[in-house]
């Protein structure tokens, strides 16, 4: 039997001479689904006929099993992995090795096992755990038979904590279990896990294993740790050649965040990272972008401070701008487009710094709302501003602002104004303006008057929200008609937005 080794699970006797001989030798009947020429006839599968396919598989493996040709075997992709580490640090594995009893777990009332307090590590043989030199720590009575036994000297890998740390965060002070049952019930699984694609291979497998294990032994109510996984992109750098040679060749040049932290602060660095683009995309590192964010924070500080104590009321303009900011930032967080939130802050600060908002019309509540929204993005700056605003309450305890949809409905619209076929102007009209009001407003425009001498139009084409076209007949005699009689909503023959 050439080319068939262990692991072959399915032969097609109709397809292959060798398989056919094999089937004959073992008395496996041919089902006749193919011809001798090797061409297989198409037959609708059971799945297509409405079955779920599982009993077909069961039938096939069932037949083979009943003949003693195969036996069921489940093969997991996740094989055993090395868990113990020969390190002097890490979480000790709470097991005791007893000559009579074998491996015995340390009883719960003796947990946690703590590492020995030592000043100096002892020399040990190559490959042995550095802790194996501390006999006093290692010597312990077997929890089962009480005879002298030895502690397991190895420690757990560093990533084990990240497999259940999110559960402990729910209730870090609780002594009797990983967390109180109502917390676990309410908060698990986590809505979102953020990690690079490299986590799909390692962390995700470990955390799911641990999570299933904890659920299986009844410690937690849910098997899956997360509802959703978000893979953020990588930040790459062409200009920076930092990092060891090995690191550079393995992952490309790196950017050392700590150096930028010292120079520009955590807020600027965080803001820059968020502003680089959608978080799922890879991005190129740029020092210039970081400097820009640092400058923006500086301007923000000046703009807010400059307006403290100036505001006397809040104008509709400011209110609309504030609610638009709330909506944009909230939506950016919800949709994970955090770069758009940073853009929204930048536009708002630009308004604050411009003459568009007078000192009187920006009230304190607007500045407070801005600061609350900024807090997750630039917490240090936000807390500083909160303090400057004279607020004594906890900034992070403030409720997240909500926008008013009603306020953000547009009340005005811009129309393109045509005289015959020429675009002569643009004008802003109230959304609720009637057609005649719109026409009157257009006729008042100096750009229109210059061309028409104040005449009434012979014909008017009004496409609400888009354009107004005043048509003047060239012949003098046709100008006497009232605009009201001829005004129409017919489609224009030229669409400026097409």
Q: How far is the CB of 144 from Zn ion (least distance, A)?
A: 4
Site for Zn ion in 375-414 (CB under 5 A): none
Q: Which is closer to Zn ion, CB of 93 or CB of 341?
A: 93
The answer to whether 142 contacts Zn ion (rule: CB under 5 A) is yes
Stretch touching Zn ion by CB under 5 A, among 17-25, 142-150, 310-318, 417-425: 142-150
- Tally Cβ neighbours within 10 Å of residue 358: 13
Q: How far is the CB of 101 from Zn ion (least distance, A)?
A: 3
Site for Zn ion in 118-137 (CB under 5 A): none
Q: Which is closer to Zn ion, CB of 144 or CB of 423?
A: 144
The answer to whether 197 contacts Zn ion (rule: CB under 5 A) is no
Q: How far is the CB of 129 from Zn ion (least distance, A)?
A: 21
Contact between 130 and 118 under an 8 Å Cβ cutoff? The reply is no
Strand 148-151 vs strand 95-98: parallel, antiparallel, or unpaired?
Answer: antiparallel
The answer to whether 144 contacts Zn ion (rule: CB under 5 A) is yes
Q: Is 456 helix (H, G, I), strand (E, B) or coil?
A: coil
Strand 102-105 vs strand 95-98: parallel, antiparallel, or unpaired?
Answer: antiparallel
CA–CA distance, 444 with 423 (Å, rounded to integer): 16
Site for Zn ion in 78-107 (CB under 5 A): 98, 100-101
Q: How far is the CB of 147 from Zn ion (least distance, A)?
A: 5
Q: Which is closer to Zn ion, CB of 142 or CB of 382?
A: 142
CA–CA distance, 437 with 411 (Å, rounded to integer): 15
List the one residue from 145, 200, 248, 431 that touches Zn ion (CB under 5 A): 145
Site for Zn ion in 218-237 (CB under 5 A): none
| Nearest alpha-carbon partner for 293 in 266, 264, 272, 263 | 272
Q: Where are the alpha helices (DSSP H) in 107-238?
A: 135-138, 160-168, 181-187, 203-216
Q: Which is closer to Zn ion, CB of 101 or CB of 320?
A: 101
Q: Which is closer to Zn ion, CB of 99 or CB of 241?
A: 99
Using CB under 5 A as the binding criterion, the count of chain residues that bind Zn ion stands at 6
Q: Which is closer to Zn ion, CB of 101 or CB of 333?
A: 101
Q: How far is the CB of 140 from Zn ion (least distance, A)?
A: 11
Q: How many residues does the chain have?
A: 498
Radius of gyration of the chain (CA): 37
Give the C-alpha distances (Å, rounded to integers) separating 295 from 283, 290, 353, 369: 21, 9, 14, 21
Q: Where does this chain bind Zn ion (CB under 5 A)?
A: 98, 100-101, 142, 144-145
């Amino acid at each position: 039997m050439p080319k068939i080794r262990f692991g072959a699970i399915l032969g097609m006797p109709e397809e292959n001479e060798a398989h056919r001989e094999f089937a004959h030798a073992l008395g496996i009947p041919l089902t006749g689904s193919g011809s001798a020429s090797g061409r297989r006839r198409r037959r609708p599968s059971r799945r297509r006929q409405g079955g779920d396919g599982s009993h077909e598989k069961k039938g096939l493996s069932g037949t083979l099993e009943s003949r003693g040709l195969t036996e069921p075997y489940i093969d997991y992709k996740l094989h055993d992995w090395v868990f113990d580490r020969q390190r002097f640090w890490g979480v000790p594995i709470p097991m005791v090795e007893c000559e009579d009893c074998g491996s015995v777990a340390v009883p719960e009332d003796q947990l946690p096992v703590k590492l020995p307090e030592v000043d100096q590590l002892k020399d040990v043989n190559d490959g042995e755990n550095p802790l194996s030199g501390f006999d006093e720590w290692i010597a312990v009575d077997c929890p089962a038979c009480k005879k002298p036994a030895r502690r397991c000297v190895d420690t757990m890998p560093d990533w084990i904590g990240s497999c259940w740390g999110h559960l402990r965060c729910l209730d870090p002070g609780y002594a009797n279990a990983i967390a109180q049952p109502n917390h676990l019930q309410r908060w698990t699984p986590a809505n979102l896990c953020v990690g690079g694609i490299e986590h799909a291979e390692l962390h995700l497998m470990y955390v799911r294993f641990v999570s299933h294990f904890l659920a299986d032994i009844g410690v937690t109510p849910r098997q899956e740790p997360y509802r959703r996984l978000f893979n953020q992109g990588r930040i790459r750098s062409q200009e920076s050649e930092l990092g060891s040679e090995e690191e550079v060749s393995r992952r490309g040049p790196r950017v050392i965040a700590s150096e930028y932290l010292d120079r520009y602060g955590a807020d600027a660095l965080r803001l820059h990272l968020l502003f680089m683009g959608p978080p799922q995309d890879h991005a190129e590192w740029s020092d210039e972008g970081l400097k820009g964010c640092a400058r923006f924070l500086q301007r923000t500080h000046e703009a807010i401070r400059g307006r403290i104590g100036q505001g006397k009321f809040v104008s509709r303009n400011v209110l609309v701008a504030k609610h638009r900011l709330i909506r944009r930032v909230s939506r950016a967080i919800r949709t994970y487009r955090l770069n758009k939130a940073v853009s929204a802050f930048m536009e708002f600060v630009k308004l604050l710094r411009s003459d568009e908002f007078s000192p009187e019309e920006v009230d304190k509540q607007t500045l407070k709302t801005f600061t609350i929204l900024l807090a997750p993005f630039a917490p240090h700056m936000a807390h500083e501003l909160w303090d400057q605003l004279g607020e004594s309450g906890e900034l992070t305890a403030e409720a997240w602002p909500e926008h008013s949809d009603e306020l953000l409905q547009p009340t005005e619209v811009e129309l393109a104004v045509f005289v015959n076929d020429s675009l002569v102007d643009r004008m802003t009209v109230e959304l609720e303006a009637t057609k005649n009001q719109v026409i009157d407003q257009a006729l008042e425009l100096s750009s229109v008057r210059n061309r028409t001498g104040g005449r009434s139009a012979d014909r008017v084409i009004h496409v609400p929200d888009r354009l107004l076209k005043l048509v003047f007949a060239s012949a003098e005699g046709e100008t006497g008609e009232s605009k009201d009689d001829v005004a129409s909503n017919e489609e224009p023959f030229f669409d400026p937005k097409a």
